[in-house]
Every structure is written in C-alpha cells, then in structure tokens.
Amino acid sequence: MNTTDQSKFPLVVIVGGGFGGLEVALRLKDAPVEILMLDKHNYHTFQPLLYQVALGSLESESIAFSFRKNFSGQKNFRFRIADVKKVNAEKNTIETNIGEITYDYLVIATGSTTNFFGNKDVEHYAMPMKSIPEALNLRYLIFQHLEDAVLKKVKEERIPYLTFVLVGAGPTGVELAGAIAEFRNHVLEQDYPELKKEDVKIYLADFLPRVLGPMSEQASNAAHDYLQNLGVELLLNAKVESYDGHQIAFEGGKVIETKNVIWSAGVTGVVPHGIDKNILERGNRIRTDNICRVDGSSNIFAIGDVAAMITPETPKGHPGVAQVAIQMGDNVGKNIAHLVRGEATEPFKYNDKGSLATIGRNKAVADLGKIKFQGFFAWLVWIFVHLFSLLGTRNKLIVFLNWIGNYMTYNGGSRLIIRRFVRGDVKYNAEEVTKGE
C-alpha cells in the first residue's frame, strides 16, 4: 500500500498516535521516506488531563487534536483510521481492518491499557480511565449516581452512590482523588442542595505503603498530607480482593459499599498479534535493543509504554511516562533516517526531566532532578508544563480559560449527562463514545 506517488521512498508505518508515535512522524518530516500513521481514532489524546474531562472541568475536545490537522503541512505524512490485527514480520506486512499493508519500517507505538491483573469481576464493574471515551463514561456514571442519590429518601440508601473508591495511588489516582474532593468540598451543595458534602466519602487505595510511589519520599509525604487535608481517606498496603458492583472487598476483611470504583492500579502493554511471546517482558512489553528495535528484528521498532529496553541501568525497562515515549520516538525517527541513508545509528539515552503531580488548587508536587519542591510554585510549574505540552493554540487557550474560570469560581466546566451510561449489568465497550445514540 502506497500513500503518496513517491513510491520509490521506503514506507514507515507507525501504529499508534500517542506521544511517541507523533514524535517519530515529526522527526521524519524531512527524511526520504513515506509515513503512514494508523490509529483507532483520528485524534491525539493528551492523557494527563483525562481526569479533568471525567469531572467535567474540561470538554473532551480541548485535550484532543486531529492528526490530519497536526501534520497538514508535512507532505510525506498520511493517516488512516485502522485497527491492526496482526504483524507478519516474515513478510513485512500488517493485517488491518482496511486491508494488508506492506512496510519497510514498522514502529509499534500502541501504548498501554488498564491492567486488572486477571480479576474479571473488577474488570467488569470498575471504571478505567485511559482514553477519552472511558473518561466520558466515568463522567456520565458519576453524575448519574449523584442524580440517583438525590432521589433516595433515606441516607443509608444514598451511601453507595456517594462513595468513591479509587484504586491506584499513582499520579492518575492522586489527581483524580483531589479533583473529586474539591468538587465535593466546593461544588456539590451548589449543584445538589439536597445532598450534604459530609455524606460523600472518597477513598484512595494502593497496595504500596505510600502514595506516588515512583516519586521522591518528599513528594509522597506532601501529597499524602494534601489529600488528607482535602478529606480523602487513604488505604495503603491494601490489596483489592473483589468488586461486584456493590461492594469492594480488600484482603484483610475491609469491605466498602460503593457503586463508584475507579481503577488506575496498573497498565499492560497493547501488543499486536504476531509478536513473538518469547520476547515479551513484565507488563506485556516488547523487548528491544538499545535503539528500540524489537529483539530479533531488523526493521521493527517499539517505543513508549509497549517497549522494554532491558539494560543494567534499567533492569525493568523505562518508566511508562510521556517523556520516555517522546524521547524514544525522537530517537527512532532519527535512527530510521540514518538507516535509510546508510548511516550509523545512535543508542537511546533517556534524559529524566522529572515528575509532576497536582492535588487540587494551589497544591502540587515536583521532582525535577535534584530539585524537589511542593505547594503553590509547583502547581504553577504543573500548569505551565501541561499548557505548553498541549497540541494546538486553540486547545491551549480553551484549557487556560477554563482553568481561570475554575480558579475564580470553583464552579467552572460542564457537568452534562449527554447520554445514559450503563455499567455492570450490561457490559459496556469503553471505545463507544456515543453508545445508544
């Protein structure tokens, strides 16, 4: 399959339009190649702000950006909406729902999905939040349950609808817990005068002994204090045993009655069929060499969350964060250009630029190398970094204006239930944004 009239150039197929996939395509802008990007959606998602979509603080369009628009000036780039079914490495082809595609170089940038660790009941009833459709499903469910709570005459009947259990105390869980707590503390009684904020319970659970485990102890301790001050109850060293849509049970006997379980306790790589299972590492990630080339291959690369570059310095691979994907994408783009020109490749070296997490208004933690700080200044840095990283001037402006409105009133954003969402009794497809419409 050729995507331009320049069929004399090698075809680079990029599967996945996340942070890493975008960087590969941008780096190959002036290289003597054709680029074909495949993704299930026609937009890039800025995942760090999904939690704000889930709470209605931001509309989904403000954290999404069209691939075609982003690369409109890049003549060697083409895009197709496609679902990759299988990689045939021996034939240099991939099977998709739009036909078989022959590649010269393949970049697997498929990212990761929620890991339920084999617990089918939890997978069935808990809410993940790894994509815009999933964030919207979560938004609708939360506000449907608040509407349901209003209809209950007895306090005890309201409890399951007003109890939120977030499993996984990494950045996603911490930021979402803080956002729900601020909604409860400042917005709930304005929108729902029939409800009392004291009746809304928020739990953040993790099997580790502290929140924000990958970050410094200083950041973890600060986040711990911020969450407690917001009224979030922390359940640490707590492992989930089961969840049936009504009660979540932990090892040790603790049971919480709730209809709102949000799962961010782990991820697993999204590996296309056809990749040798013998080269899959922990977390379902593809083992690569020092230029992100798939083990045993000469022209297939894997980057980001789906890649595991095992070295003495990184025995478990690199962390699953955006900066890793971006830097791997940049390196792979440069190396494919080198290979096409017959030049030597450059090994990948990760430059850790640090970590940030926000826990509500004026509160954030920052680990920037040896510099570690918390509070208002860290929150300003978090805002600047996220605004700068968004694609599109329009998106930057919309998000910034929304943040100003939220900061001034505590009551910005949109909390509309555009469609009904049914979870549990009718198994949902998280990718169907407009299910039932």
Q: Which residues are catalytic?
A: 175
Cα 296 from chain centroid (whole Å): 29
**Which of 141, 145, 131 minimizes the C-alpha distance to 423?**
141
Helices then strands, counting H and E runs in the chain, come out as 12, 25
Point out which residues pair with 235 in neighbouring strands.
205
What length does the chain have?
A: 437
What is the C-alpha separation between 103 and 105, in angstroms, rounded? 5
Q: Could you please report the per-residue DSSP string of 332-350?
A: HHHHHHHHHHTPPP-----
Phi, psi of 152 (to 5 degrees): -80, 130
How far apart, in Å, are the Cα atoms of 349 and each of 106, 259, 305, 324, 329?
A: 21, 44, 16, 10, 12
**Which of 356, 46, 54 minimizes the C-alpha distance to 179?**
54
| DSSP-assigned letter for residue 161 | G
Residue 380 tokens read as 């300003």
Cα torsion at 224, 226, 228, 232 (round to 10°)?
Answer: -100
What is the C-alpha separation between 11 and 38, in angstroms, rounded? 13
User: Could you give the angle at the alpha carbon of 12 between the alpha carbons of 322 and 285, nearest 5°?
Assistant: 45
What is the C-alpha separation between 302 and 288, in angstroms, rounded? 7
Residue 330 tokens read as 């940049």
| DSSP-assigned letter for residue 273 | B
Are 234 and 220 contacting, i.e. CB atoms less than 8 angstroms apart? no
| DSSP-assigned letter for residue 14 | E
| DSSP-assigned letter for residue 8 | T
